[in-house]
Amino acid sequence: MECVEFMSEPYFLEPVFHEKIWGGTKLHTDFGYDIPSDHTGECWAISAHPHGPATVENGPYAGMTLDRVWAEHRDVFGNAKGDVFPLLTKILDASEDLSVQVHPDDAYAAEHEHELGKTECWYVIAAEPGATMIYGHHARTREQLAEWINNGEWDKLLRRVPVKPGDFLYVPSGTIHAVGKGIMVLETQQSSDTTYRLYDWDRVDKTTGQKRELHLQQSIDTTNVPHHDPDLDITTTKVGDATVTKYVQSPFFGVWQWRLTDGQATFNRGKAPYTLVSVLAGKGSISVDGKDYPLAKGVHFILPFDVKQWTLKGDLQIIASEPGEKA
């Protein structure tokens, strides 16, 4: 096969939507997406997961799903190793509380679920006044954890934390958590769909007439005891006119905010072989290889390996992520 020279460019993605018992309409009203129903909970914006891979909209791979590009054109990602694309970016709209859940680590997930574990993080896009997350628990030992779970002593067990727009929470595997009612988050996570549901507020799923399945033993096995809040070293720097906030640099991923107010900033690729980008607010453009591409709220794209430099212009609030060394 002859090698075709492509110009380097960002790859824009068409998201996939998932309806949820707790979902709402804000993915349409706030982000302008064409959603399937009034209980749409998740926008899988940058996804190569089999339960909902995003589709490339432009360039030589237009019309291909991201998992296929990863499988067949690994050079796009700097020939990064791994059977599966390691990251997944979502926007969640919690019109009701999500179930209380925990995700396994890589070792437990590989043995029991044959996929990656799930460490994730949330950037809070919107939160109604008084909104709270469940984040961690109060049990001191695994025996106490099991006792409180099996006895349904949720008020004793669960730790609620208030959140506001702009907050960032890092959720390592083994952390009991739930996004609360009235909150929208951008979630960056390992590409896994394994969730152990601990408690679902005793609600009945209208589509089945049943309560959703719980996974109590797996939850007890995989929860970190006692809970410790991760120690985040959040730092802010300037790149051109942009304010860059580093939220986390973990073995699985790094996550940053790029904030630009009527200005411009030129970024150079660091060590990571590719970059995932989501526009949360504003409008502007990105210039790559001498070509400008318009950007607006709700646009998601990947900067592939061959994009070594890019310039942002305009009023933009962006969350960017890159794979860590374990990805």
Catalytic residues, by residue number, are 197
Buried b (16+ CB within 10 A) or exposed e, 134-144: bbbbebeeeeb
The rounded distance, in Å, linking the Cα atoms of 244 and 265 is 10
Q: Tokens 């300037």 appear where?
A: 238
The rounded distance, in Å, linking the Cα atoms of 78 and 91 is 26
Sequence-separated (6 or more) residues with CB below 8 Å from residue 289: 7, 8, 9, 307
The rounded distance, in Å, linking the Cα atoms of 138 and 155 is 10
The rounded distance, in Å, linking the Cα atoms of 16 and 22 is 17
**Alpha helices (runs of H) in the chain, residue ranges in sequence order:** 26-29, 66-72, 106-112, 142-150, 154-157, 216-222
Contact 100, 199 (CB under 8 A): yes
The rounded distance, in Å, linking the Cα atoms of 159 and 145 is 13
Alpha-carbon distances of 196 from 102, 130, 250, 255, 317, rounded to whole Å: 5, 27, 23, 25, 33
Instruction: Provide the residue type at 26 as one letter.
Output: K
Sequence-separated (6 or more) residues with CB below 8 Å from residue 247: 121, 123, 168, 170, 232, 234, 255, 256, 257
